[in-house]
Chains A and B, each alone.
Chain A
Amino acid sequence: MQGEILHNIIAIVTTNPKSVGGGGAPIFYAANEAEREKIALYLSRILNAMVHDLENGTYFLTHH
């Protein structure tokens, strides 16, 4: 609500590298779903960010 960077995508975690590319956010490639869950959880708790699922193998994190 306060700053303009709040609604940016701050990180992307994916098992499907073809589904995502470019952009300003770092992309974390996970070998499988379990690893994707783990990376996303860690990033979420460290960055106080919400994990959203695009349902194509890609998660992304953003602040709300």
Chain B
Amino acid sequence: MLENIGAVILGLALGFLYRLYLLRIDYRQYPSYPHGYIAHLSLGFIAALLGAVALPALLAKEYAAVTFLSLAAQQFREIRNMERKTLEQLDMSELVPRGPDYIEGIARVFEGRNYLVMLVALATSSLATFIPLGWSAVGGIIVAVVLSRLKKGKTLGDIAIVRLGRVHFRGALLFVDDILIMNVGLKDAKKMITELGIGVVIEPKTDDARATLANMGQRQAINHEVATLLGARKDFAEPEFTPLCRLNTETGRAALFILPVEPDPELAVLAVRKVPVLESAIRRPLDTIIGRKASD
């Protein structure tokens, strides 16, 4: 076992660094909780260790150790529950909630990251068992880069054309272009909405994208993301100013209405383009014969 200690340490180090790197890029989903970082880094460390010792333990014929490894891997399922519970609790005091679909997606990502870390550590330590440490470090980094590419999800900008829409009233009904948003009663609210409101029209590029946009969870995620990035001019007990994303079922277009703190229309469009497409909202009717026939 001793001759493999270098491989284990290298695998552990690379795996842990990869976890650190992944934490860095999820600032938006997990805004600055130092204690959250510690929890994820320690679990990432354990995941890296598990991955790193797997092959050396097998080679040393430590079968009991390998069995324990698989047991330990079960623990990572708990991460999903932990994240989901935390975010659900926090969501209750959000003025513009994330919604259950978005939370589920984030929780799944956090669980998945530990398996990615395990894979990177496993690959690195396996390589290091057979080839020099320097080269296996390079190999580990390549594996990490490839995995990051693979897991990168789409954003709304990829599946839809996002552009500005005109916010206007017809009587009491608020429209963004031709898409009905809601009925607003109070005259002051209407005045404020016409002065400061921003409308963004999201036009799906394909029928697959249309089905994704029809998902309520996806639209709630749009509301939340844009409200997070631009701010929502809204307090408790001001339901008129809640950002809303509504659908025109005839064209499949969706429209977001928001009263941002930063009234910059161009930024609102950029923010909508950057909203992640939720895994749970992805639909592929075009992959089936029925879906393709129905679309023409």
Residues in A lying within 8 Å of B, measured CB to CB: 37, 40-41, 44-55, 59, 64
- Tell whether A41 pairs with B186 under 8 Å between CB atoms, given A50-B239, A50-B240, A51-B240: yes
Kindly state the separation between the CA atoms of A48 and B242 in the bound complex, as whole angstroms: 12
Q: Which single residue of chain B is at the shortest CB-CB distance from A61?
A: B185
The answer for the CA separation of A37 and B191 in the assembled complex, in Å, is: 13
Indicate whether B146 reaches chain A with its CB closer than 8 angstroms. no
Residue tally, chain B, CB below 8 Å to A: 16
Q: B65: shortest Cβ distance to chain A, in Å? A: 48
A48 and B239 contacting across the interface, CB-CB below 8 Å: yes
Query: Do B188 and A45 touch (CB < 8 A)?
Result: no
Q: Beyond A48-B237, A48-B239, A50-B240, is A37–B187 a contact (Cβ under 8 Å)?
A: yes
> Can you list 27 A-B pairs, Cβ within 8 angstroms, ordered by A?
A37-B187, A37-B188, A40-B185, A40-B186, A41-B186, A41-B188, A44-B186, A44-B237, A45-B237, A45-B238, A46-B237, A48-B236, A48-B237, A49-B239, A50-B182, A50-B185, A50-B239, A51-B185, A51-B240, A52-B172, A52-B184, A52-B185, A53-B172, A53-B183, A53-B185, A55-B171, A55-B172
Instruction: Give the 6 A-B CB pairs with smallest separation, nearest first.
Output: A51-B185, A53-B172, A53-B185, A50-B239, A48-B237, A52-B183
Query: What residues of A have a CB within 8 angstroms of the CB of B172 in the complex?
Result: 52-55
The closest CB in chain A to the CB of B189 belongs to: A51
Using A40-B185, A53-B171, A53-B184 as known contacts, list a sample of 20 further A-B pairs with CB atoms less than 8 Å apart, ordered by residue number in A: A37-B187, A37-B188, A41-B186, A41-B188, A44-B237, A44-B239, A46-B237, A47-B237, A48-B236, A48-B237, A50-B182, A50-B185, A50-B239, A50-B240, A51-B189, A52-B183, A52-B185, A53-B172, A53-B185, A59-B185
Closest residue to B236 on the A side, CB-wise? A48
Bound-complex Cα distance A34 to B239 (A): 21
Closest chain B CB from A24 CB (angstroms): 20
| A44 contact set on B, CB distance < 8 A | 186, 237, 239
